[in-house]
Amino acid sequence: MSTLEAKVRPVGKANALRRMGWIPAVVYGPTMETISIAIERKKLQALFSHITRSSHIDLSISDHADEKDLDVFVKRTQYDSVTDKVLHVDFYHPDTEKPLRLHVPIKVVGESVGVKAGGVLNVLFDTVRVHGMAKDIPSLITLDVSDLDLGEAIRVKDVDLGEVTPLLSPERALVTIVAPRGIEVEEIAAEEELLEEETEGEETAAAEEESEEST
């Protein structure tokens, strides 16, 4: 689990905080009141460099002498439309006694035998929405495509998600290896050429047989 430190902030003065190198944020959930917090920009950037949208974060909130630790997820991030810098973050603290629904990102690893043979890797989903207890939700679904050949796929039913349930049909393909149209055309052309050669060979053999029979 990733860790992050924050401090309680007064409502408002968001721009002043940003100028001082802090990012305003809030934490909320079904079992708590919303808390306005501030996080050092450098620490937030370091966190965002390695987490996913379903990563568990241990958020430590200090309020003078008091400190509170919460298990949270990043719910929403607001960016500046020009600079792309983070302006505000919403963190969500789930009810640990109830299941929730969350999108888990997919990461594809390996080079498939089908791709080596000229096929194309087709990633059909970037995430899989799952249902389960917060503690059981993975931060990432890793799909190894090394053994996939042309025409093969990894389907939802092929993925071990532990205690959580995917909210997709078990037969739904997540990634496939497909032959590009150019390869299919070349194969068809090659087959037609071979068929013509075989036909010509058969016609030549038949003509020779007829010639032999007439002599």
Give the per-residue pLDDT at 211.
44
Query: Distance between CA atoms of 101 and 93, rounded to whole angstroms?
Result: 13
Give the per-residue pLDDT at 183.
52
In this predicted structure, the answer to whether residue 199 has a pLDDT above a threshold of 80 is no
Give the per-residue pLDDT at 31.
94
Query: Distance between CA atoms of 155 and 136, rounded to whole angstroms?
Result: 21
In this predicted structure, the answer to whether residue 8 has a pLDDT above a threshold of 60 is yes
Q: What is the pLDDT of residues 93-150, one digit of tens each?
A: 999 999 999 999 999 999 999 999 999 999 999 999 999 999 999 999 999 999 999 9
Q: What is the pLDDT of residues 50-62, one digit of tens each?
A: 999 999 999 999 9
Give the per-residue pLDDT at 195.
52
Query: Distance between CA atoms of 100 and 98, rounded to whole angstroms?
Result: 7
In this predicted structure, the answer to whether residue 215 has a pLDDT above a threshold of 60 is no
> Kindly report the CA angle at 42 between 41 and 43, in degrees rounded to 5?
95
> Kindly report the CA angle at 16 between 15 and 19, in degrees rounded to 5?
90
Give the per-residue pLDDT at 193.
56
Give the per-residue pLDDT at 170.
96
